[in-house]
Structure 1
Amino acid sequence: MGMISRVRGRIRSDSFSKIHTIKSEDKIANIVWLLSLVFLLPYWAPRGLLVALGGAWLMAAYTCLVVPVLISANYRYPARWYPAVAKMARKTARKLRAPFVFILTILKTAYAPLERSEKLFLQMNNLSTMISQLLMFTACDRLLVSQGRLTSLYSLMFYNVITYSVSYVREICTKEDWSPYVNVTRHSRVKHLAMSATKIVLEWTKAVTFIVTITFVLLTLGLEQGLEHYRPTALYTAITGTYYLLSERTFLELWPIALSAFKLERLEGMEALYCGLWSRGVTTALAVPLVPALMWYERWRLAFLVLYICVFVHGKYRLGEALKKIREARGSLAKFRRATPEELATLEDVCAVCLGTMKSARVTPCAHFFHADCLRRCLATSDRCPICVRPYVFC
């Protein structure tokens, strides 16, 4: 009898205790899961129970207090069916993903010729810019000008005249060789008569064209002849003028020069990259709200063209290219720390690359100071210091 009682006690203490422990853990896991459902019911209540009772603050406080407790409790006491459900969900996702991948592959194959056409279209920079400007001007004409015919064409012609005038004045201001003659070779003093005559005729043609153009514009605006259908509003002029100034190549070359006059140290001499990013971002942003407005007035074809060319194509390639350049520039300079004002004050030196004064600089591991843009250009060709020709080693 004593032996039997000991065996029964051993069995109860070992085997059945383990079985009861397992059952109790399963019960706890199921209870935790049911309680989690109960505590999550307020989120599914109609008309937002928590918001109705105490507003958004009560919902935020309830979320911060309850959700972490529920997650930790389910992690501490996981039910046995959790892994099975997760495995079934993964299998279902794999089965559903295969058709989507197949459809996506077909769409990519069908889009490949169109993508090549888009790239070829953007390579023709002048044509693509003029078409995007014409689409934007036409969209603004349809939305913002009442009883105005050909306002977009008048505006585009007027802006092109301004661009030609600005480019001609810029050419005169930056011109170094005022000699009307052309030498046979660079170091020769013998004049090439045919080329000299051609150069003189071209210069006089440019000057006469500039004078006639400015006179014609002034007479047209002053006498208002031929402008019966030209009635631009202030908003129309603001949108189209901004878009033109930020998309025309002549002005895109001038904005970095104007921005560099402010000498903003945060830009670190990369005004051209930032101006390209800002101009493309603003032009894309200006085109976005015109699309739903055109759709509201049932201008479906014009809305599609503006969406595709001015938003999608230019945003995908030109804005994407500007973002890529900015990221590459920041990435290449990320390892080089900025020089402190104390270091620049004690240094009193010039950049070894451009020989300009340094109000802001980057420091190499070999303790040499360069302008950020100068260092970025050097990194594009070599990974060694321009002064000591040592490879950059970062600790």
Structure 2
Amino acid sequence: MGMISRVRGRIRSDSFSKIHTIKSEDKLANIVWLLSLVLLLPYWAPRGLLVALGGAWLMAAYTCLVVPVLISANYKYPARWYPAVVKLAQEVAKKLRAPVTRVLGVMKAAYAPVERAEKLFLQMNNLSTMIGQLLMFTACDRLLVSQGRLTCLYSLMFYNVVTYSVSYVREICTKEDWSPYVNVTRHSRVKHLAMSATKIVLEWTKAVTFIVTITFVLLALGLEQGLEHYKPTALYTAITGTYYLLTERTFLELWPIGLSALKLERLEGMELLYFGAWARAITTALAIPLVPALAWYERWRLAALLFYVCVFIHGRHRLGEALAKLQEARGSLAKFRRATPEELATLEDVCAVCLGTMKSARVTPCAHFFHADCLRKCLANSDRCPICVRPYVFC
């Protein structure tokens, strides 16, 4: 009997200890929850208590120190009603899924004509680019320039002059036919009088326009006549210049050429695709912080236009298209492994597609080496090896 009573006492003591542990955990969870409410009160104070006391830096430091601690404490000691709330939220979301789907379908059908108009607007590349530049320059003018209200127009004019000069110099440098005459046919030596005269007049007009434009800009900058409203700041010039260089077609064609001259092996010859995604991501990122800044100064219409054109339309369509092309190119090459430096050193061969030296290459299952971009172009036409014409079989 004594042994039985001792066993019963131990069982009762263990059960009571477990109940006591559970109650203490609940008490600790409730204490953590109440402390979380108290520590989050400064965010709900009128006009921001921490901002009033120490500025935005104090608010940022408080957020970085306190919020992670609160999240980890509530995760480690969750209150009993947390799972019930999560379950209730899941049930409500499940019940609302069908109505929300129907509402989204109606909204998508109603938005379809607007989406077609947006795509038509982007197809007019010069117009859409110019409108985006005007909105971006005007926003920077309103936010970063104190007195110069015409700074955006002057800046756009100067940038366009630089673009025209660069395109003309590029045309001269890449020009192969310096003859002022036009032959009747390709293999004939007979000169076409009317076409030759038109070509001469056109070339001289371009040269005179270039000289006059450069002279006018130099005189305007040197004499500073009519530039009393042109007062750009360094930040204004940096933002607008970067945006213009990454949106104007002339520079969009030149940057990949300069990037390919660096011969970065990581890009694998796909500089055009990578730079297209980078340029559109940077221009969208430059426009995003200007929207709340304009809203803060109550310039609602300009903020709405900037968000819709430079962030929503350009980010959704142009950035999305560039990322999709890059992802598709990388996805098509994902199955082909990269060649190791030892393999390329022992190979000492050229790419069979472009006949260029291979500092980086992809290896096919049939053990043939190609540049990544060359292999990607071949995959767009056929799923067979360009050398042995065998279908690719991956183990």
Short-chain TM bin = 0.7 to 0.9
For the residues of structure 2 that align with 1:32 and 1:196, how far apart are their CA atoms?
99
Cα distance change on mapping 1:94 and 1:60 into 2, 3 Å: closer
Q: Alpha-carbon deviation of 1:32?
A: 11
Deviation larger for 34-43 or 348-357:
34-43
* Alignment check: 8 A CA contact 1:136 1:240 kept: yes
For the residues of structure 1 that align with 2:127 and 2:165, how far apart are their CA atoms?
20
Please name the residue that 2:259 is paired with: 259
* Alignment check: 8 A CA contact 2:29 2:74 kept: no
Cα distance change on mapping 1:261 and 1:188 into 2, 3 Å: same
Please name the residue that 2:342 is paired with: 342
Output aligned runs, 1:146-161, within 5 Å.
146-161=146-161
* Alignment check: 8 A CA contact 1:332 1:376 kept: yes
* Alignment check: 8 A CA contact 1:42 1:49 kept: no
Q: Which amino acid letter does the alignment assign opposite residue 30 of structure 2?
A: L
Q: Alpha-carbon deviation of 1:226?
A: 1.8
After superposition, the C-alpha distances for 1:72-111 in whole angstroms (9 at most, x for unaligned) are xx9xxxxxxx9xx97x987754432232222212211221
For the residues of structure 2 that align with 1:276 and 1:333, how far apart are their CA atoms?
19
After superposition, the C-alpha distances for 1:3-56 in whole angstroms (9 at most, x for unaligned) are xxxxxxxxxxxxxxxxxxxxxxxxxxx9999898667435523336999xx988
Higher alpha-carbon Rg: 1
Output aligned runs, 1:63-142, within 5 Å.
92-142=92-142
After superposition, the C-alpha distances for 1:119-152 in whole angstroms (9 at most, x for unaligned) are 0000000000000000000011111112213211
SS in structure 2 of the partner of residue 261 of structure 1 = helix
Give the % identical residues: 77
* Alignment check: 8 A CA contact 1:184 1:192 kept: yes
For the residues of structure 2 that align with 1:393 and 1:149, how far apart are their CA atoms?
64
SS in structure 2 of the partner of residue 275 of structure 1 = helix
Q: Which amino acid letter does the alignment assign opposite residue 364 of structure 1?
A: T
Q: Alpha-carbon deviation of 1:233?
A: 1.1
**2:165 aligned with 1:176:** no
Output aligned runs, 1:346-385, within 5 Å.
346-385=346-385
Structure 2: 5+ residue stretches without partners: 1-18, 41-64
For the residues of structure 1 that align with 2:391 and 2:28, how far apart are their CA atoms?
60
**2:207 aligned with 1:207:** yes
Please name the residue that 1:311 is paired with: 311
Please name the residue that 1:300 is paired with: 300
Q: Which amino acid letter does the alignment assign opposite residue 150 of structure 2?
A: L
Q: Which amino acid letter does the alignment assign opposite residue 275 of structure 2?
A: C
* Alignment check: 8 A CA contact 2:33 2:74 kept: no
* Alignment check: 8 A CA contact 1:42 1:50 kept: no
SS in structure 1 of the partner of residue 96 of structure 2 = helix
For the residues of structure 2 that align with 1:209 and 1:306, how far apart are their CA atoms?
34
Output aligned runs, 1:51-66, within 5 Å.
none
SS in structure 2 of the partner of residue 46 of structure 1 = helix
Cα distance change on mapping 1:357 and 1:96 into 2, 3 Å: same
Structure 1: 5+ residue stretches without partners: 1-29, 75-81
For the residues of structure 2 that align with 1:107 and 1:42, how far apart are their CA atoms?
45
Please name the residue that 1:18 is paired with: none
Give the root-mean-square deviation of aligned CA atoms: 3.0
Cα distance change on mapping 1:64 and 1:388 into 2, 3 Å: same
